[in-house]
């Protein structure tokens, strides 16, 4: 077990290193520099700016400088576009918003997905089953940029019970005041993952319902609810745990669209803007933060999986 | 062996043998959702092929005579018009061409890379195999969508970059499946036989192993196409994929996907969005039906 954790840890480190390196050289392959759109900039100012951001140094030196600052000082450097702000400042400002939406969406997806999957498995070939299984295919087929407008059209524009996008900070409206602004982003983001988890839970339960130990439990005369929650549920949830890692990556990506449409000041929206503006350092910071988040998530999930399922052998 | 069983065996011998594929096809036809999916796929494929005949206007036609921006759906413009006064109905019809071709071409790119990589890995000595799979593991950890965005920004928003970019990140699962199949197949006797008569390694892989490993790969491929189309739509929606005046279903939604447009001109996002959602639903339903049909033991699994 310990050996597995150590090995898994090192492969995570390598992954992060590969990400940083590839992202760095890829973004530096972009033709034009961050200041190339400012056509009337005097030569001297441009040279000064280049010197300030060390763009006049050889590429490999810049790369090692970047790596050094990042690893030893957790410093992503200054933003090339938002003058006077460091990338760390910007991430600190935008990241909590995305993290809040993402984690809530994940929680909702797990709760709803597991419940739907159980209903589906217990009512096999009845209405509930067909309903949720159609939903499961539909959920992965409808793109995020269609889900969000549909929610908006129904709840904000039609029924007028939710605000039309936008965002309020907890410091301005309190936590209760934030809820109306959270509902559409959270539910749209969780929809496709609810669909996946529904299917996984159903598949897991169908497998376990047929197992001998369930028959034994029935034969012993245990209550149905006891069998369901004590015997069946535990086994059928295990595959869901392993899915949480990849799902989290997907939710993070999906939040780009959600934030873009609803005008939520999160990392996803900033990332797209930074990519368009060629704000090298901000794009790098975003990619690395996202990657770290996803890698840590996968790492935790893999270890958790081992604790939950004793059959998993770490080799 | 009981009498009954013996008789069953004899009975079976009298029945005409059914090939794996014919048997799968029969099961597929029984699955209503899969048949429905196939009908949707055929419908949109025909729309894409005959777009020139169906669409009332060219995809980039702007009527400068009259000012008809943001027209609501009407008998003249069934899906309304966009911000430039172009007919949305025609644009959604032409959009099917790009959306479907991106999905298919990119999936083929992913297929070629994935099968080659997976087959080599599965057939290589275990040290090389382990190294190759480690590399895939590491690549798996990368949030690739952000890299595709970087790629599109770095190398200009060219259509072929979209194929390469998404293809380059979609091959990994295909590689894993292929490798798994090869590992189970490579110890079979007919492989031994082929080896013993001196068949070359390349021929062994491409003539004997891959054709026998193809079932699950085809199934995964049919489920990869919709997921690639979804990624293309995601990028195009953000303005990083297909560029105007060309239209994919994703890029058509770009303008309609702003808060103001959703409130005032919902037809701009509803029609391209529904076309895409319907197609993806069809493909996913068909792909899953195909999987269940080819290997019923996998039914209800992810």
Number of A to B CB contacts under 8 A, please give it: 149
CA angle centred on A299, ends A287 and A27, rounded to 5°: 15
pLDDT the model gives residue A315: 45
State the number of CA atoms in the 13 A half-sphere of A90 facing the CB. 28
Average pLDDT over residues A278-300: 83
Direct distance between the N- and C-terminal alpha carbons of chain A, in angstroms, rounded to an integer: 9
Would you call B38 an interface residue with chain A, using a CB distance cutoff of 8 Å?
no
- The SS3 of residue A78 is strand
Task: Please judge whether A143 and B134 are an interchain contact, meaning their C-beta atoms are less than 8 angstroms apart.
Answer: no
pLDDT the model gives residue B282: 94
How many H-runs (helices) and E-runs (strands) does chain A carry?
A: 12, 0
A214-237 burial code (b ≥16 CB/10 A, e <16): beebeeeeeeeeebbeebbbebbb
- What does pLDDT average to over chain A? 83
pLDDT tens digits, residue range A137-189?
888 889 999 999 999 999 988 888 888 877 887 777 777 878 888 999 999 99
> Which candidate from A11, A140, A275 shows the least CB-CB separation from B149?
A275
Contact call for residues A276 and A24 (beta carbons, < 8 A): no
Domain ranges of chain A: 2-73, 91-276
Task: Please judge whether B237 and A257 are an interchain contact, meaning their C-beta atoms are less than 8 angstroms apart.
Answer: yes
Contact call for residues A109 and A194 (beta carbons, < 8 A): yes
Q: In whole angstroms, give the CA distance from residue A87 to residue A65.
A: 16
Closest chain B C-alpha to A142 CA, distance in angstroms: 5
Interface predicted TM-score (ipTM) over 0.85:
no
Burial group, residue B218, by CB count within 10 angstroms (0-12, 13-18, 19+) = middle
Percent of the residues in chain A that have a pLDDT greater than 70, as a whole number:
95
Task: Please judge whether B233 and A141 are an interchain contact, meaning their C-beta atoms are less than 8 angstroms apart.
Answer: no
A262 against B80, higher pLDDT: A262
pLDDT the model gives residue A105: 94
CB < 8 Å to A164, chain B: 259, 262-263
Average pLDDT over residues A180-201: 91
Closest chain A C-alpha to B184 CA, distance in angstroms: 20
> Nearest residue on chain A to B138, judged by CA atoms?
A15
Q: In whole angstroms, give the CA distance from residue B104 to residue A179.
A: 42
CB < 8 Å to B223, chain A: none
Largest CA distance in chain B: 86
Output the tens digit of pLDDT for each of chain B's 302 residues. Answer: 445 555 555 555 555 666 667 777 888 888 888 899 999 999 999 999 998 888 787 777 777 666 777 777 877 778 877 777 788 888 889 989 999 998 999 999 899 999 899 988 988 888 998 889 888 877 776 777 777 877 777 777 777 888 888 888 888 888 988 888 888 887 788 888 888 898 888 888 777 777 777 778 888 888 899 989 998 998 888 888 888 778 889 888 888 888 888 888 888 888 999 999 999 999 999 988 888 887 765 554 44
Average pLDDT over residues A208-231: 84
Strand segments, DSSP code E, in chain A are none
Cα torsion angle, B19, B24, B25, B27, sign: positive
Would you call B154 an interface residue with chain A, using a CB distance cutoff of 8 Å?
yes
Return the residue matching tokens 């062994």: B204
B 163-222 → A contacts, CB under 8 A: none
pLDDT tens digits, residue range B169-191?
888 888 988 888 888 887 788 88
pLDDT the model gives residue A224: 83
A113 against A203, higher pLDDT: A113
CB < 8 Å to A143, chain B: 230, 233-234, 237, 250, 273, 276-277, 280
| Token couple for A165 | 């996008």
CB < 8 Å to B151, chain A: 26
Q: In whole angstroms, give the CA distance from residue A274 to residue B249.
A: 25
CB < 8 Å to B225, chain A: none
> Nearest residue on chain A to B282, judged by CA atoms?
A141
Task: Please judge whether B153 and A278 are an interchain contact, meaning their C-beta atoms are less than 8 angstroms apart.
Answer: yes
Instruction: With cut-offs at 50, 70 and 90, classify the pLDDT of residue A16.
Output: confident
Omega of the bond leading into B245 within 30 degrees of 0 (cis):
yes
pLDDT the model gives residue B114: 92
What are the two backbone dihedrals, phi and then psi, of residue B177, each rounded to the nearest 5 degrees? -65, -45
Contact call for residues A162 and A156 (beta carbons, < 8 A): yes
Average pLDDT over residues A295-315: 74
Average pLDDT over residues A248-273: 86
Fold of A91-276: MetI-like fold (1.10.3720)
Q: In whole angstroms, give the CA distance from residue A214 to residue A119.
A: 18
The DSSP element (H or E) to which A195 belongs, if any, is helix A170-209
CB < 8 Å to B284, chain A: 137, 140-141
> Nearest residue on chain A to B139, judged by CA atoms?
A15
Residues in CB range of A141: below 8 A, 6 or more apart: B226, B277, B280, B281, B283, B284
Q: Which of A34, A175, A221, A254 is nearest to B234 (CA)?
A: A254
User: In terms of C-beta distances under 8 Å and separation of at least 24 residues, what long-range contacts does B153-158 make, across chains too?
Assistant: B153/A27, B153/A30, B153/A275, B153/A276, B153/A278, B153/B240, B154/A26, B154/A27, B154/A29, B154/A30, B155/A29, B157/B240, B157/B241, B157/B243
pLDDT the model gives residue B301: 46
CB < 8 Å to A18, chain B: 138-139, 142
The DSSP element (H or E) to which A9 belongs, if any, is helix A2-28
Q: Which of B215, B229, B222 is nearest to B284 (CA)?
A: B222
The angle, 0 to 180 degrees and rounded to 10, between the axes of the packed helices A144-151 and A170-209 is: 120
pLDDT tens digits, residue range A79-117?
877 777 888 888 888 888 998 999 999 999 999 999 999
pLDDT the model gives residue A113: 92
CB < 8 Å to A134, chain B: 33
Q: In whole angstroms, give the CA distance from residue B224 to residue A191.
A: 20
Q: In whole angstroms, give the CA distance from residue A135 to residue A130.
A: 8
Closest chain B C-alpha to A202 CA, distance in angstroms: 8
Task: Please judge whether A146 and B273 are an interchain contact, meaning their C-beta atoms are less than 8 angstroms apart.
Answer: yes
Estimate to the nearest angstrom the gap between the alpha carbon of A271 and the chain centroid: 14
- The SS3 of residue B28 is helix
> Which candidate from A153, A275, A283 shows the least CB-CB separation from B262?
A153
């Amino acid at each position: 077990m310990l050996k597995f954790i150590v090995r898994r840890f090192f492969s995570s480190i390598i992954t992060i290193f590969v990400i940083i390196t590839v992202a760095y050289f890829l973004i530096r392959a972009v033709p034009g520099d961050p200041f190339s759109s400012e056509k009337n900039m005097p030569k001297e100012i441009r040279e000064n700016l280049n010197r300030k951001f060390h763009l006049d140094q050889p590429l490999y030196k810049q790369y090692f400088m970047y790596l050094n600052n990042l690893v030893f000082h957790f410093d992503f450097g200054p933003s090339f576009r938002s003058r006077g702000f460091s990338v760390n400042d910007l991430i600190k400002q935008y990241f909590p918003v995305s993290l809040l939406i993402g984690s809530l969406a994940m929680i909702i997806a797990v709760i709803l997905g597991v419940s739907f999957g159980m209903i589906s498995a217990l009512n096999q070939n009845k209405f509930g089953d067909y309903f949720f299984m159609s939903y499961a295919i539909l959920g992965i087929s409808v793109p995020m940029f269609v889900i969000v407008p549909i929610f908006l059209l129904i709840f904000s524009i039609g029924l007028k019970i939710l605000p039309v996008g936008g965002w309020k900070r907890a410091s301005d409206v309190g936590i209760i005041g934030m809820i109306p602004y959270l509902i559409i982003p959270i539910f749209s983001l969780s929809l496709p993952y609810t669909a996946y988890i529904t299917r996984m839970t159903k598949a897991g339960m169908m497998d376990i319902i047929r197992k001998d130990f369930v028959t034994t439990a029935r034969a012993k005369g245990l209550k149905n609810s006891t069998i369901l929650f004590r015997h069946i549920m535990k086994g059928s949830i295990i595959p869901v745990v392993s899915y949480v890692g990849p799902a989290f990556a997907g939710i993070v990506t999906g939040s780009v669209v959600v934030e873009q449409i609803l005008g939520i000041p999160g990392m996803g929206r900033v990332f797209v803007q930074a990519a368009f503006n060629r704000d090298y350092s901000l794009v790098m910071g975003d990619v690395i933060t996202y990657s770290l988040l996803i890698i840590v998530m996968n790492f935790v999930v893999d270890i958790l999986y081992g604790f939950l399922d004793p059959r998993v052998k770490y080799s | 062996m009981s009498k009954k069983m013996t008789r069953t065996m004899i009975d079976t011998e009298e029945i005409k043998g059914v090939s794996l594929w014919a048997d799968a096809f029969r099961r597929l036809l029984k699955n209503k959702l899969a048949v429905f999916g196939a009908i949707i796929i055929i419908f949109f494929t025909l729309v894409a092929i005959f777009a020139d005949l169906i669409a009332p206007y060219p995809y980039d036609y702007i009527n400068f005579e009259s000012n008809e921006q943001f027209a609501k759906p009407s008998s003249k413009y069934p899906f309304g018009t966009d911000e430039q006064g172009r007919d949305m109905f025609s644009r959604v019809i032409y959009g099917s061409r790009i959306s479907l071709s991106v999905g298919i071409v990119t999936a083929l790119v992913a297929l070629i890379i994935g099968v080659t990589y997976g087959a080599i890995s599965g057939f290589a000595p275990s040290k090389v195999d382990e190294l190759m799979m480690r590399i895939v593991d590491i690549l798996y950890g990368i949030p690739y969508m952000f890299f595709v965005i970087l790629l599109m920004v770095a190398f200009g928003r060219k259509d072929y970059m979209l194929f390469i970019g998404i293809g380059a990140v979609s091959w990994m699962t295909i590689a894993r499946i292929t490798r798994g199949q090869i590992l189970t197949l490579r110890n079979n006797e007919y492989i031994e036989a082929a080896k013993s008569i001196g068949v070359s390694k390349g021929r062994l892989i491409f003539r004997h192993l891959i054709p026998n490993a193809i079932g699950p790969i085809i199934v995964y491929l049919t489920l990869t196409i919709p997921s690639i189309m979804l990624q293309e739509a995601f990028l195009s929606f953000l303005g990083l994929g297909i560029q105007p005046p060309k239209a994919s279903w994703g890029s058509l939604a770009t303008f309609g996907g702003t808060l103001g447009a959703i409130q005032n001109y919902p037809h701009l996002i509803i029609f391209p969005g529904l076309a895409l959602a319907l197609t993806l639903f069809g493909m996913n339903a068909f792909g899953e039906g195909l999987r269940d049909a080819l290997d019923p033991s996998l039914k209800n699994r992810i």
